[in-house]
Amino acid sequence: MCRILGVSRAQYYRYRSPKPSKRRAEDADLKQRILRIFAEFKQRYGVMKIHHELNLELQPLQRRCSPRRISRLMKELDIHSVTVNKWKAASASKTKVEQRPNLLKQDFSTTGLNQKWTADMTYIQTKRNGWCYLSTIMDLHSRRIIGYSFSKKMATDLVLKTLESAVKNRTITGDLIIHTDLGSQYTSDDYNQRLTECQGQFKNVGFRQKEM
């Protein structure tokens, strides 16, 4: 085949297994950095703020990334910042805190299982799917993960699946506190509706979010 085509074996195999272009490799690296910054600042940073943080990281490497490129990469990642109307921000935040008191109050002590759960989200790199968001619920008594789910998107459905996993794995008979941050997934109507349904299913179960 190579002799007929008049090419060397090395040229043929390079054609069959092309290496990713430099631009694509840079995009992959930038996407990882953007995801980390986006998660670190709890989805509140848009293009310009991510542009600032990202270029601070890239400066020692003598690299830069334009806002236009960041915007394109964020669209490919299907992520966007959570925005709040500024003139309503103070009253809205106050209402959320009042509705979701910090029941845990830094008291992580327990005397048995299913008394205090903590929910969290982070991002991980997988061989099959690349960078994904991992949602978990941990029982503070056993320090074991009792529910988890992962997805390419940081959406409410992700934390709902984690909650269903935890509830399915445990039999709850007494008071329970679920401790989360006030991220948009945990304060969404769908998530809180499911918590209300759980409160009806299990007697004396309290689900609350912590203050920021």
Across 14-18, average pLDDT: 57
- Residue 91, in any domain of the structure: no
124 shares its domain with 194: yes
126 shares its domain with 190: yes
13 shares its domain with 57: yes
Count up the domains in the chain and report the number: 2
Question: Which of 46, 77, 108 finishes a domain?
Answer: 77
Tell me what pLDDT residue 134 has. Answer: 87
What are the tens digits of pLDDT across the range 61-88?
899 999 999 999 998 888 877 654 443 3
Question: Which of 77, 112, 139 finishes a domain?
Answer: 77
Q: Which of 41-50, 102-111, 135-144, 197-206 has the highest mean pLDDT?
A: 135-144
Residue 16 has pLDDT above 90, yes or no: no
62 shares its domain with 105: no
- Residue 153, in any domain of the structure: yes
- Residue 1, in any domain of the structure: no
Contacts 24+ apart (CB under 8 A), 77-82: 77/31, 77/34, 77/35, 78/152, 78/153, 79/34, 79/35, 79/38, 79/43, 79/153, 79/154, 80/46, 81/43, 81/44, 81/45, 81/46, 81/49, 82/42, 82/43, 82/44, 82/184
192 shares its domain with 131: yes
- Residue 92, in any domain of the structure: no
Question: Which of 23, 42, 77 finishes a domain?
Answer: 77
Residue 127 has pLDDT above 80, yes or no: no
- Residue 175, in any domain of the structure: yes
Average pLDDT over the chain, rounded to an integer: 78
Q: How many CA atoms lie within 13 A of 164 on its CB side?
A: 11
Across 112-136, average pLDDT: 83
Query: Which whole-number Å values give the CA distances from 52 to 34, 36, 45, in the listed order?
Result: 11, 14, 10
More reliable by pLDDT, 129 or 51: 51
pTM of the model: 0.53
Residue 10 has pLDDT above 80, yes or no: no
CATH of the domain at 181: 3.30.420.10
DSSP, collapsed to helix, strand or coil, labels residue 74 as helix
- Residue 209, in any domain of the structure: no
Across 185-210, average pLDDT: 71
d(CA 207, CA 148): 18
Q: Which of 76, 86, 80 has the alpha carbon at shortest distance from 47?
A: 80
- Residue 85, in any domain of the structure: no
50 shares its domain with 121: no
Q: Under a CB-based contact definition with an 8 Å cutoff, are residues 186 and 198 in contact?
A: no
Tell me what pLDDT residue 210 has. Answer: 47
- Residue 83, in any domain of the structure: no
The whole domain housing 33 covers 7-77
